Amino acid sequence: MPAAGPDDTAGGRPGAAARDGAPGGAAQDALRGILGAEALLTGAACEPYLVDQRGLYRGRALGVALPRSVAQVSRLLALCNAQRIGVVPHGGNTGYCGGATPDESGRQLVLSLARLNRIRSVDPANDSLIAEAGCILAQVQEAASQAQRLFPLSLGSEGSCQIGGNLSTNAGGTSVLRYGMMRDLVLGLEVVLADGRVLSSLSGLRKDNTGYDIRGLFLGAEGTLGVITAASLKLFPQIASTATAFAAVADVRAAVTLLARLRAASGERVSSFELIPRIGIELTTQHIPGVTDPLGASHAWYVLCELSSARAAEPLAAILTEVLGAALDDGLVLDAALAGSERERAALWRLRETIPAAQRKQGAGLKHDISVPLSALPEFVARGSSWVSTHVPGARLVAYGHVGDGNLHFNLSETQGAVRGELTARAAEVQRALHDLAVSLGGSFSAEHGIGRLKVAELERYAPATELELMRAVKRAFDPHGIMNPGKVLRAAPADRDER
Residue 23 reports pLDDT greater than 70:
no
All domains of the chain in start order, with CATH:
16-114+458-499 (3.30.43.10), 119-237 (3.30.465.10), 241-355 (3.30.70.2190), 363-453 (3.30.70.2740)
Q: What is the pLDDT of residues 230-254, one digit of tens each?
A: 999 999 999 999 999 999 999 999 9
Band of pLDDT at residue 8, cut at 50, 70 and 90? very low
**pLDDT tens by residue, 294-324:** 998 999 999 999 999 999 999 999 999 999 9
pLDDT tens for 349-361 read: 999 999 999 998 9
Q: 447 pLDDT exceeds 50?
A: yes
Per-residue pLDDT tens over the stretch 56-72? 999 999 999 999 999 99
pLDDT at 497: 42
Query: Each residue of 474-496: pLDDT tens digit?
Result: 999 999 999 999 999 999 544 44
Determine the residue type at 392: V
CB atoms within 10 A of CB 243: 22
Rounded distance, CA 480 to CA 473, Å? 10
CA–CA gap between residue 340 and residue 325 (Å, rounded): 17
What is the tens place of the pLDDT at every residue in 185-218? 999 999 999 999 999 999 999 999 999 999 999 9
- CA dist 430 and 432 (Å) reads 5
Give per-residue pLDDT as tens, 257-271.
Answer: 999 999 999 988 999
